[in-house]
Amino acid sequence: MEVSRSQGARTRLPPSKVAALAEEWLDERRTIGRGISSQTEAAYRRDLTNWATIIAEIAGRPSPPPAQDGSNRPDPFLGALGRLDLDDLSLDNVKRALAQMARMDYAPASRGRMLAALRGFCRWLVIEGHMVADPTIHLGNPAIPNRMPSAFLASELEAIVRTVSQADPAARLPWPSRDRALVAVLAGAGLRASECIKLKLADLIREQPPILKVTGKGNKQRRVPLPVEVVQAVDEYLAQRCKRLGEPSPSDPLLVRYNGKPFTRESLNYHVYRWILRAGVHKPEGEAAHAFRHTYAKGLVANGVPLSSVQALLGHASLNTTQVYLRMTGAELADAVQAAEVREYLRAT
């Protein structure tokens, strides 16, 4: 049995029946239909590892042996699922594990996502004849609070654009043109952080209007038109990048760090936090970079863009996800950032 691709070099453990079946389920998910992305598979592995760890504690299963060498740690996925028997996946244990997750302050959305992963695995176990009944079939998803998305106000977006247009005095290698390009793409195209960091130079297609070819969740692609001011900000950055790092190839990342390496989600959010701190802007709830996406979406809705078009631009699989932006009141929409406003601030700086 091969160790998870996402875990790097790990100690190979003899898989238990549950662990082996979980690997078989993931193998099938990769090969049927459209398959699953590496990010989705990694999320399934994390979620099933959490389930197995909590259920094993509830069932009193022994812990895996400690690693002898910190550089040769056992794979956590195989280690956690290796503690379980199929009988441990009972309705009572699953309900108790859900309650334990709530006590551990897992957010309702996280518990819902984790339940979906376990539900998929258990449904497959029943279909394949390894279990008689699915313990998750009658469990409802945790209620998610009716919370409005966090977005920047017009004054906050203006402050951020003006801030990143100036060199960061605390940075060892300030790069304001790159930071302006990041803000322009995030606020002017409404990308997720994961989509932004995966952009290649070839994904900027200079048609009329210019577009970004974006690879979203499930490796689904969409084409997002760009305002001319966003393209100008990116071009200014690319000109400086050539001087700093040499001529890039079309397959290179579009947006890079000082050393020429691509951003990670963590490094991107670190930069956003730095901008917010320097601009004196209130930190939004959730992932910092995601607030630009909410800002973009609310601006589209405020400007009367049809909801189906907003759905297409954001890459939402369901229109229900997009409808959250309709719940803004007229007063909130007046204060919310309009997508076009980032163009004005880019021009002014």
What are the Cα distances from residue 326, in Å, to 88, 90, 297, 299? 44, 41, 10, 11
Helix (H, G, I), strand (E, B) or coil at 262: strand
Spell out the alpha helix ranges (H) of 66-105: 76-81, 91-103
Active site residues: 192, 217, 290, 293, 316, 325
Helix (H, G, I), strand (E, B) or coil at 223: strand
DSSP 66: P
DSSP 213: E
How far is residue 292's CA from residue 186's CA, in Å, rounded to a whole number? 6
Burial of 87 (0-12, 13-18, 19+ CB in 10 A): exposed
Q: Position of tokens 């309709």?
A: 326
**What does the block give as tokens for 247?**
């001529």
**What does the block give as tokens for 151?**
């977005």
Q: Are 259 and 167 in contact (CB under 8 A)?
A: no
Tell me the chain's radius of gyration from C-alpha atoms.
Answer: 23
How far is residue 238's CA from residue 241's CA, in Å, rounded to a whole number? 5
CA 73 to chain centre: 27
Helix (H, G, I), strand (E, B) or coil at 74: strand
Q: Are 13 and 78 in contact (CB under 8 A)?
A: yes
Instruction: Return the C-alpha torsion angle 171, 175, 180, 181, nearest 10.
Output: -130
